[in-house]
Amino acid sequence: MEYGFLPFALLGGVLLLYLAAPLLCLLFQVDWRGVSAALGDARALRAIRVSLLTSTVSTAAMTLLGVPLGYVLARARFRGRRFLAALVFVPMVLPPLVGGILLLLLFGPYGLAGARFEARGIALVNSLKGIVLAQVFVAAPYVVIAAMSAFEAVDEQLEQAAATLGDSRWRTFRRVSLPLAWPGIAAGVTLAWVRTLGEFGATLVVAYHPNTVPVFLWVQLTGEGLSAALPLALFLMALAAVAMAAIFLLGRLPLPGTRPGREPLRIP
């Protein structure tokens, strides 16, 4: 490294150390036998099941709805496009607790939409549905923004070329835009998935029950203290590590259908 980088490296190193130290410290403090016992606990297992189920459903929903939205925001020319794109950022800048309160106002038993479901005997809050609602609200922007920037990075002329070769918009999307944007989208989807697994604030307000892993973690922390919470924290960290690895690998994947090993794509 060039000598001139030294002051930068020193300042940056302090931050890096601060970020890594808690992880290292944790690994030395964990009582590994306690971990397997704690994760064998029925309530913990239930929380893990709830978390995996809801995060899968909400990630699927976000992808199905968010990728088309990203495509429209990236490509369509219409008035108010920038405003709508800005709207996508709102859940990202809102504190999750506030997001939860907004969702409660809408979907709660006396809320505008919630009351109608309640009348048909469908409870949205304090149910798996409520958890999914909270997770989608908080994490969907990750999918939309990743999709938007991935589609924007696809040369528009490629889509025009597909059009002159007889492709409808849908066929162009399927044969050109999506394959080229996919690595970026996949990274966004993975990030969103991790975000749903860790979602706490909005979920706490909308659906305290059934407990997701983060909510159960909080219950354990406040009820029984640090040692009871640690194994669950480790579990969430393991999932985060999986996601990190996935994003890293996605970033090195070649374009679908091409030979591997050259020009890895960058994740925005």
Partner 1 sequence: MNPGGEAALLVRVRKQFASGGRRGFQLDVDLALPPGITILFGPSGSGKTTLLECVAGLRRPEAGRIAANGLTLFDSNQGIDLPAARRAMGYLFQELALFPHLTAQENIEYGLGRLAPAARRQRSRALAESLHIAHLLERYPREISGGERQRVALARALVIQPQVLLLDEPLSGLDAAVRSKIIEDLRAWNAAQRIPIVYVTHARDEVHALGERVVVLEEGRVLAQGTPQEVLEAPRHEAIAQLAGFENLFDATVRALHPAQGTMTCRLQGSEVDLEVPLMRVEAGARARIAVRAGDILLATVPPAHLSARNVLAGTLASIQQMGVTVVAKVDCGVRVEVHLTPGARAALELRPGLAVWLVLKTHSCHLAG
Chain residues in the site for partner 1 (CB under 8 A):
155, 157-158, 160-168, 171, 175-176, 179-180, 255-259, 262-263
Distance, in Å, from the CA atom of 8 to the CA atom of 190, rounded to the nearest integer, reads: 31
Kindly state the smallest distance separating residue 192's Cβ from partner 1, in Å: 24
- Closest CB to partner 1 among residues 124, 265: 265
- Closest CB to partner 1 among residues 136, 180: 180
Contact status, residue 91 vs residue 99, Cβ threshold 8 Å = yes
- Closest CB to partner 1 among residues 36, 157: 157
Kindly state the smallest distance separating residue 173's Cβ from partner 1, in Å: 13
- Closest CB to partner 1 among residues 144, 176: 176
Kindly state the smallest distance separating residue 80's Cβ from partner 1, in Å: 21
Residue type at 49 in one-letter notation: R
Kindly state the smallest distance separating residue 81's Cβ from partner 1, in Å: 19
Contact status, residue 228 vs residue 152, Cβ threshold 8 Å = no
In 110-164, where does DSSP find H-type helix?
Answer: 114-119, 128-152, 156-164
Q: How many CA atoms lie within 13 A of 147 on its CB side?
A: 25
- Closest CB to partner 1 among residues 150, 197: 150
Kindly state the smallest distance separating residue 75's Cβ from partner 1, in Å: 14
Q: How many CA atoms lie within 13 A of 55 on its CB side?
A: 25
Q: What share of the chain is helix, strand, coil (3-state, %, to 5)?
A: 80, 0, 20
